[in-house]
A and B are shown apart, each in its own frame.
Chain A
Amino acid sequence: AQKVTQAQTEISVVEKEDVTLDCVYETRDTTYYLFWYKQPPSGELVFLIRRNSFDEQNEISGRYSWNFQKSTSSFNFTITASQVVDSAVYFCALSEAGYSSASKIIFGSGTRLSIRP
């Protein structure tokens, strides 16, 4: 069965601090996709990144970076020099790359990140 665990329910840091959001996943498939989404108070899910199970390269996009480790089934997300605008709920998610399109996405329970000025 697929499962995504985000053990950190809430994190609060002071602006400019670095912060890492943890994500651990479970799947029996060898081919799958991992995602991070941001959900600001408006409610809309904002796509941040997608990785497939065959690409373990870490990725950096501006102040955001992602560390994918298949050996530990983890896909952690780090924000460097956090800003108040980063305050939101962040979801890690998993989708098995089945034979058909748009396999369902399994979401974690989310981490609420608060950046204090």
Chain B
Amino acid sequence: DAGVTQSPTHLIKTRGQQVTLRCSPKSGHDTVSWYQQALGQGPQFIFQYYEEEERQRGNFPDRFSGHQFPNYSSELNVNALLLGDSALYLCASSSELAGTFYEQYFGPGTRLTVT
């Protein structure tokens, strides 16, 4: 039973560019949440997707957008990259259908470096 997977593992981009990060939830999970973890900080909630719609959003600008596909996988897009976007991006999945919404499983993360 595969856990949460994320790709790519590492990414280096230049200021102003756009980036797409991908997440596949744990088997049986239908909800995906994204978090940003800056160096030396705790993860911060970006947004959550369920039934292909954004359900909750943290305090992040519109440059951060996402998508959820019918197979529950998700993408995080960041436009007009800033140096401050350099961070570890974590994806977490959970199951609305099973009612175990409090059990969020985290993936290994994608480390984004903006130069």
A residues whose Cβ falls under 8 Å from a Cβ of B:
4, 33, 37, 42-45, 47, 50, 52, 91, 93, 95, 97, 100-110
Residues of A within 8 A of B95 (CB): 101
- What count of chain B residues pass the 8 Å CB interface test? 31
Give chain A nearest CB distance to B97 CB in angstroms: 9
Question: CB-nearest residue of chain B relative to A50?
Answer: B102
- Among listed B13-21, B64-72, B75-83, B103-111, interface-contacting one: B103-111
B residues whose Cβ falls under 8 Å from a Cβ of A:
31, 33, 35, 40-45, 48, 50, 55-56, 58, 88, 90, 92, 94-96, 99, 101-109, 111
Residues of A within 8 A of B40 (CB): 109-110
Residue pair A105, B108 in contact (C-beta under 8 Å) = no
12 CB < 8 A contacts A-B: A44-B107, A44-B109, A50-B102, A91-B43, A100-B50, A101-B50, A102-B33, A104-B56, A105-B45, A105-B104, A107-B42, A109-B40
Residue pair A44, B44 in contact (C-beta under 8 Å) = no
